Amino acid sequence: MRNAWKWLGLAGAVGVAAGGVVVARDQRQRNAYSADDVRERLHRRHGQAHAPADDAGGDQR
Domain count, the chain: 1
Structural domain for 36, as ranges: 23-49
Q: Is residue 29 part of a domain?
A: yes
Which secondary structure element, helix H or strand E, spans residue 20, and what is its range? helix 2-31
Q: Is residue 60 part of a domain?
A: no
Q: Is residue 5 part of a domain?
A: no
Q: Is residue 38 part of a domain?
A: yes
Q: Is residue 37 part of a domain?
A: yes
pLDDT of residue 59 exceeding 90, the answer is no
Q: Is residue 35 part of a domain?
A: yes
| Longest pairwise C-alpha distance within the chain | 72
pLDDT of residue 7 exceeding 90, the answer is yes
Say how many Å lie between the first and final Cα of the chain, rounded. 72
pLDDT score of 34: 86
